[in-house]
A and B are shown apart, each in its own frame.
Chain A
Amino acid sequence: DGGITQSPKYLFRKEGQNVTLSCEQNLNHDAMYWYRQDPGQGLRLIYYSQIVNDFQKGDIAEGYSVSREKKESFPLTVTSAQKNPTAFYLCASSIAADGHEKLFFGSGTQLSVL
């Protein structure tokens, strides 16, 4: 369904812990994105990657890190520096990162703090 897979579906983080969210796509898309969704806040961009081995900060990158070692994969690490990590995280991909292409979303990961 959509060719983009996120795991796990639910994740719990202890204080001071780093956690990593997985995102894999088999659509052969160059661009990948991470969005954070909070109730009533829409979708806010954390990081995006236009091509392998390259990524840029979005609007709310503080406390997060990413890597893009393979075209298919764009994992997101929520670090202990992110003081309010509880949210629904959506990964997306598009053919190119020109802002005019259809985004294909994963099914999301709900992160909660213990």
Chain B
Amino acid sequence: QSALTQPPSASGSPGQSVTISCTGTSSDVGGYNYVSWYQQYPGKAPKLMIYEVTKRPSGVPDRFSGSKSGNTASLTVSGLQAEDEADYYCSRSYPGSNNWVFGGGTRLTVL
């Protein structure tokens, strides 16, 4: 089960944009559009923010967007707000895979 690589931390000032990366391989992230992103506050359950690389579930602000280039998927948070300070995890699976894999997580700090 190959891991996904995320930077341990990211930061930005209110109103700015921040991008968090998630790097896999050509066999998973690069080969399929099944990367999802989760937001987690301390002591709380994670929440789905992005699925299938770019899609937002109902209720997720459009300040959150996803993209992919090659083997790296990215989550961009635009117009940073204090409430965006949390841990963010990417995840991948794909047709024919018998497992799901998470990245190590990125702590986003709003300065």
Q: Does chain A bind chain B? A: no
B interface, CB within 8 angstroms of A: none
A interface, CB within 8 angstroms of B: none
